[in-house]
Structure 1
Amino acid sequence: MASRSLFLSLRRRSSQRCMSRLLSSGSVSTEYTDDYINNSETDDLRSRIFRLRLPKRSATSVIEKWVGEGNRISISDLRQISKDLRKSQRFKHALEISEWMVSHEEYKLSDTDYAIRIDLMTKVFGIDAAERYFEDLPLTAKTSETYTALLHSYAAAKLTEKAEELYERIKGSKLSFSALLYNEIMTLYMSVGQVEKVSSVVEELKRQKVEPDIFTYNLWISSCAAALNIDQVQRILNEMRCDSGCNDDWQRYINLVNIYVTASRLTSADSISPIEIEKGITQREWITYDFLVMLYAGLGDKDKIDQIWKSLRMTKQKMTSRNYICILSSYLILGHMKEVGEVFNQWKQSTTTEFDISACNSVLSAFEDAGLMEKANDLHMLLISGNCSPTNK
């Protein structure tokens, strides 16, 4: 009991010191006004907080008023409201809920609560504040989740040196980490163009006997593709097939990668040249985005595919047959024929890339080789309806 009281006291003082520094620095306005408007139809704490129209309004005062009216609120309720606020990008109000939880000893914070708090501190006050908060945490609160949260903040800001220093600290700790931590540092290396470092992270993951997930494999494959090391891509795919955790999503992703590698001629001269353009995506980075599209196709996430495809089309980079193959195959394997037809027409009407019937035939053959005969037939019929002549019968 004494040790728990000491821990709670340290936790509260750490949080209060951090918040005091931030508030005294003028980073956040202290002039809060509760603009809660009574609404008898939805008079619950979540609705009251979501009716705060401006970030400077105080979620804390809303909670205090709610409790002052004799209402009770559980930590699970607070977590759910915070989650909903984060989804709505209401990070400052979510952080105030976190602060309320910290300042009330009856709420026992989990490792996830601390990790979320680091992420919110980064978004509201900046990485320096999150870093100070992490360092001020008691040793018992410096867990795999909080380390991963801070690494995520560094990776998102592309602070390679800080991320690598933290990664070395992590490797020297006795904590156990999931694939998420390694995915974070791999994502950073991909984002800053240091694709050659990804393989060493995978080696470390294997040394620690950590089970890779589908995102690990995607990042690993993307790094090899970006380096045009297609033989290694094939070796990774073979490893995935033997992975005990391989499920239907993984198999669909493996099929897509096989189709992509077989049909897209990654080693052709025009694909190797990394042409820099005004909006900043190189030919090498295109390959990485293509694999990301296929990952979400493997996971069945059409919305993500839509978002990535829209973003890529807004750049001024010259589209290649490979890019169209990737998106066309992804929509096709998910059964979204309307989108397949739209991509097909965009390709045919493109002013930057000549429509390539031989590439379409390669896709058709690759679908057949993967045993996806129904999808191959759909593509065959699409080519015929588009006045093209597929060689496959």
Structure 2
Amino acid sequence: MLLRLIRRSYAAVRPLSTEASTTVKSTGSGGGSGITTSLEGGTSTRGRDTLGRRLLSLIYAKRSAVIAIRKWKEEGHPVRKYELNRIVRELRRHKRYKHALEVCEWMRVQDDIELLSGDYAVHLDLIAKVRGMNSAEKFFEDLPDKLKVQTTCTALLHTYVQHKDTSKAESLMEKMSECGFLKYPLPYNHMLTLYISQGQLEKVPGLIQELKKNTSPDIVTYNLELAVFASQNNVEAAEKAFLELKKAKLDPDWITFSTLTNIYIKSSLQDKAKSTLREMEKRISRKGRTAYASLVSLHTNLQSKDEVFRIWKEMKSLFRKVNDTEYSCIISSLLKLDEFGEAMNLYTEWEAGSVTKDTRIANLILAAYINRSEMENAVDFHNRMAQKGITPSCTTWELLTRGYLKQKEMDKVLEFFKKTVTSVSKWNPDAKMVRKMFHVVEEQGDIQMAEQLLVTLRHAKFVNTEIYNALLRTYVNAGKMPMIVTERMKKDNVEMDEETRKLIGITSKMTVTEVPNGVA
């Protein structure tokens, strides 16, 4: 929850500026199609051939923006710096970083284009996105001293924050302070975001105090501070911060009220939550599309079914096409509201029109069947996923593992657990699920199943004392003595504890078993 609040707040930060504005109209739904731009000093370009249109049409990364610009010039068209700045901004907005970087690099070698520090800041940010942090650092180091100013330093700081390099970010902040570059809140907002995302909340109050000594907080600062209070469920501190921002004559945005609503909901302050939610809705528009999904989630947490359906209806009327994130939000919300039938209808709607085949959305329905203990329907739905070309993910296999584990069908559990751990390069261990699996095999005294689970966990590089103890308890329940268990533990670099020694002592008096296949 905290990270989601941070991302919302951080999205409001405008870290860089090309020092030129742009007017952009999108006829699409946020899916990257139907772009209509105004990139000629406010003159409508609808239906006209423009450099902006040509560059924005370079959908595939292998295509060259430089070639498109050269061709435009060869046709006798002028190429103006302010126009290119606007095109770069639009390309960045659509995450077309490679082409945006190519435009910046072309501008840099033109004798008739004079670049400002803000242009270099954008260039640095794009290098970091396309080529990585080390390349961005090299670009900054190679800049002449006169360009190592507030804007380019802030761009480098932004890069360190994105790469979560706390040491370098703090070091750069010190240098910026020495140079007098901390006279506005943006660098502090970057550092706040870094500390919060890293869980270093103890550093937040001191940094905010330092910010207030050097400059004034902006709305992003307050939103980040509110996100911290939300994570701490500190209603009093959140309300105090809200009064402070109002006193500073700052306009709270939808993120502000979304965060406050979340705090009130968690504190069971329903009336206050409904009040801030109304204020939030007043501040959203078609432009701030992500706010609608937040509205749906918050109304869901308030158990307001009618409001959820109302907001969803409004979203469908506003946007030509609903995207995957929004379908995921509404389906998840309806499942939480126990509206499985409606959720399934919307899933079918998404399924019919989806080109992404996003497994995460299908997994919502699969999880719902499993949570409802409808394993037969879950299996049928999994088959439906395959028929529709939806590729199973690690989560898919894990859900099926959990479903069969509830039914104690251990052959199926093992089958899907193997798929879980082999479907990713590095499995993120779920210790609780592993405990449950061994608990069932312990009850059943199924030493063959316990051994096969151990082999699977060894391949997943998740073997420890607790697992070996569970294996030994299974042997105790089966009345059997395991072979070479001490040697196997040494090979797996697993230490014995008091329980291990006790269990080995108990099993040493039992019937000897053969060495299981694949465990030596």
* Same fold per superposition (TM over 0.5): yes
2: distance between equivalents of 1:45 and 1:309?
38
The correspondence for 1:218, drawn from 212, 218, 223, is 223
Is residue 2:139 matched to residue 1:155?
no
Number of the residue aligned with 1:265: 267
**1: CA distance between counterparts of 2:188 and 2:304?**
31
Partner of 2:291: 305
Indicate whether 1:116 and 2:112 are aligned: no
Count of residues paired in the alignment: 271
2:162 partner letter:
A
Of residues 326, 349, 354 in structure 1, which corresponds to 2:338?
Answer: 349
Greater RCO structure (CA 8 Å; 6+ sep): 1
Distance change >3 Å, CA 232–CA 94, structure 1 → 2: same
TM-score scaled by length of structure 1: 0.59
Separation in 2 of the partners of 1:45 and 1:96? 14
The answer to whether 1:174 aligns with 2:180 is yes
Q: For the residues of structure 2 that align with 1:191 and 1:327, how far apart are their CA atoms?
A: 29
Contact 2:140 2:148 in 1 (8 A): yes
CA contact (8 A) 1:151 1:163 kept: yes
Query: What TM-score results when the alignment is normalised by the length of structure 2?
Result: 0.45
Structure 1 residues 296, 154: closer, same or farther in 2, change over 3 A? farther
Between the aligned partners of 2:130 and 2:116, the Cα distance in structure 1 is 21
Structure 2 CA distance for aligned equivalents of residues 47 and 345 of structure 1: 40
Q: Deviations over 1:58-103 (max 9, x none)?
A: 2222222322333221101111222222223221121111112111
Give how far 1:51 is off: 4.1
CA distance in 1, matches of 2:260, 2:64: 53
- How does 1:292-371 map onto structure 2 within 5 Å? 299-300=283-284, 303-306=289-292, 324-325=300-301, 336=311, 338=313, 346-349=335-338
1:327 deviates by: 9.5
Contact persistence 1:195–1:227 (CA under 8 A): no
Which consecutive unaligned segments of at least 5 residues does structure 1 have?
Answer: 1-40, 268-292, 314-321, 354-393
Question: Quick check: which has more Rg, 1 or 2?
Answer: 2
Q: How much has 1:232 moved relative to structure 2?
A: 2.1
Q: Which amino acid aligns with 1:300?
A: I
1:234 deviation in Å? 2.7
Task: Quote the Cα distance in structure 2 between the aligned partners of 1:327 and 1:129.
Answer: 49
CA deviation string 1:275-318 (max 9, x = no partner):
xxxxxxxxxxxxxxxxxx999767425521345689xx8xxxxx
Q: Which letter does structure 1 place at the counterpart of 2:245?
A: M
Q: CA deviation at 1:54?
A: 3.1
Q: Distance in 1 between matches of 2:81 and 2:126?
A: 18
Residue by residue over 1:232-259, the C-alpha shift from the partner in whole angstroms, topping out at 9 and shown as x without a partner, is 22321221231133x3x45x77666655
Query: For 1:349, what is the secondary structure of its paired residue?
Result: coil
For the 8 Å contact 2:230–2:262, the answer to whether it is kept is no
Distance 1:327 1:184, change over 3 A: farther
Distance 1:70 1:241, change over 3 A: closer
Deviations 1:26-64 (A, max 9, x none): xxxxxxxxxxxxxxx754323333444532332222222
- Within the alignment, does 1:233 sit opposite 2:241 as a pair? no
Counterpart contact for 1:154–1:162, Cα < 8 Å = yes
Output the CA distance in 1 between the equivalents of 2:108 and 2:184: 26
| Percent identity over paired residues | 31
Tell me, in whole angstroms, the C-alpha distance in 2 between the residues paired with 1:147 and 1:263. Answer: 40
Q: Partner residue of 2:249? A: 244
Match of 1:199 in 2: 205
